[in-house]
Amino acid sequence: MKAFFFLLVTILCGAAASAEEGTAKDQTRMFLPRDTLWGFAQFDVAPPHNEIDPNICRSDAGNFGGANAPCNAFARYMFSGVLEARPFGRGPLRRFMLFGEPRFLLGRNVPQHLYTWSPAAIGVEHSWGAAVYLGQGFEMRVTQHFLFDRFGSRDRNLGAADLGANGPWGRYNVIGVRKYFGTRRW
């Protein structure tokens, strides 16, 4: 499923790039209009004593080895973002949207015992879904949230303080309604 999502994003990025070379008439194309993709990327740094906790290790992980505790998956850095794709430019399907929201966590810390600036990869938390704009600023969304995927040496049991594979939210599907309001100044 991940490979399909990344293939879809790659195709849409290529289509959006080629659409930018078109004319103003292309703005109203039925499939892959010029403004197909929208999103943002964000980089966060957590200062010492305020690490991001992806809920992989117990908060008292330091009691199971101190600074050498095997469960040291408390993040210093987070790369996150949102990518929205609106593949249709005209007709009733123009209100349809696909979206993805990944969060990559990096770090190697144990609260009260070990504070480093290490960029060791911990894993990724991600969700994706589809939405339909209903009008008046309302949008109906269907979201699939996956379990936290661990990377490398952290993709195994990390000792007595390991909480398992659920991550901060676990796996879930939801149907929701979002209300947009206000306008941006820029």
pLDDT value at position 86?
94
Domain boundaries, the chain: 2-179
Q: Alpha-carbon Rg of the chain, whole angstroms?
A: 20
Token output for 86: 């609106």
pLDDT digits (tens, 9 = 90+) for 25-44: 545 788 888 889 999 999 99
Cβ contacts of residue 52 below 8 Å, gap of 6+? 44, 46, 74, 75, 76, 78, 105, 107
pTM: 0.76
Compute, in degrees rounded to 10, the torsion defined by CA atoms 4, 9, 10, 14: 140
**pLDDT > 80? residue 135:** yes
